[in-house]
């Protein structure tokens, strides 16, 4: 099963390089164009459905894709972005200059929670549980598109072994994708393997097999149990 995890298109806060968190910001004009281009790039085929965070920027991006693919669009609350608390709305560049150590903790320490916000670990657990429910609902599907947010996508990507390239370190771009393969254990638990990150979504919507072995991670255990295949 192929899973395409797409980051939403651009908002005004993205363009201004400000933390966005759970502020419900819609797409700007460029974001609408990005979402439309991404939707047009997805090849029709064995898509089962489009799932998204209910936040405006993700739901809008997903709606264009669902219309293009002619499949249902489902909103799942726990696919929403990490809560950034008091950081919400701050300039990333200014924060990086004034508090570089805190920025590193935000990006690299899953136990860190900004004041009033959510730790990386809590956000990843929540997101992985929601993703598992999505995959369980579409277990016999060929491909599923999930539209979410840069923060939670990066938390997942950093918890998955890289597929040959350098591990993900930078935020996945707007309307860029993580490409996963999913399989099921005998106990009915979904395992996923990272095939590509920060990719053009149309690069993910293929059925090519990996040239080298990939590493599957158990989503139920929130990216902690690793089995090599």
- The set of catalytic residues is 8, 81
pLDDT at 213 over 50: yes
Flag whether pLDDT at 207 surpasses 70: no
Q: Which residue, 192, 155, 150, is CA-closest to 21?
A: 150
Q: What is the pLDDT of residue 141?
A: 82
Of the listed ranges 15-19, 84-88, 94-98, 168-172, the one predicted with least confidence: 168-172
The Cα diameter of the chain in Å comes to 50
The confidence score (pLDDT) of residue 158 equals 87
Exposure string over 41-74, b if 16+ CB within 10 A, otherwise e: ebeeeebbbbbbbebebbbbbbbbbbebbebebb
CA 91, 97, 103, 107 dihedral sign is positive
Residues 6+ apart with CB under 8 A from 32: 9, 60
Could you give the CA distance from residue 4 to residue 113 in angstroms, rounded to a whole number?
Answer: 28
Position 208 confidence tier, pLDDT thresholds 50, 70, 90? low
pLDDT band at residue 187 using 50, 70 and 90 as cut-offs: confident
Across residues 64-83, what is the average pLDDT?
97
pTM, two decimal places: 0.92
Tally of residues, the chain: 229
Bridge partners (DSSP) listed for residue 140: none
- Give 92 or 205, the one with higher predicted confidence: 92
Residue 229 pLDDT more than 80?
no
**Given a cut of 70, is residue 55 above it in pLDDT?**
yes
Q: Is the pLDDT of residue 119 over 50?
A: yes
* Confidence band for 171, pLDDT divided at 50, 70 and 90: confident
Residue 142 has pLDDT above 90, yes or no: no
Residue with token string 């916000």: 117
What is the per-residue DSSP string for 16-54? TTB--TT--PPB-HHHHHHHHHHHHHSPPSSEEEEEE-S
Among 85, 78, 35, 34, CA closest to 55: 78
What mean pLDDT comes out for the span 173-201? 92
Mean pLDDT, residues 195-215 taken together: 76
């Amino acid at each position: 099963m192929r899973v395409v995890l797409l980051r939403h298109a651009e908002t005004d806060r993205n363009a201004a390089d400000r933390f966005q968190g759970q502020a419900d910001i819609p797409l700007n004009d460029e974001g609408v164009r990005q979402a439309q281009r991404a939707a047009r790039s997805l090849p029709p085929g064995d898509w089962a459905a489009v799932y998204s965070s209910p936040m405006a920027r993700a739901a809008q991006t997903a709606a264009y894709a669902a219309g293009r693919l002619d499949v249902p669009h489902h909103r799942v609350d726990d696919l929403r972005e990490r809560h950034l608390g008091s950081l919400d709305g701050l300039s990333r560049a200014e924060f990086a200059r004034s508090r570089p150590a805190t920025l590193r903790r935000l990006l690299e320490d899953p136990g860190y929670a900004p004041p009033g916000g959510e730790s990386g670990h809590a956000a990843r657990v929540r997101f992985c549980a929601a993703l598992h429910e999505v995959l369980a609902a579409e277990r016999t599907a060929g491909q599923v598109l999930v539209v979410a947010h840069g923060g939670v996508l990066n938390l997942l990507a950093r918890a998955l072994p890289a597929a040959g390239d350098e591990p993900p370190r930078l935020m996945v771009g707007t309307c860029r994708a993580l490409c996963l393969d999913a399989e099921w254990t005998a106990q009915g638990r979904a395992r996923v393997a990272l095939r590509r990150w920060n990719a053009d979504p149309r690069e993910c919507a293929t059925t090519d097999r990996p040239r080298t072995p990939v590493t599957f991670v158990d989503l139920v255990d929130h990216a902690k149990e690793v089995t090599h295949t």
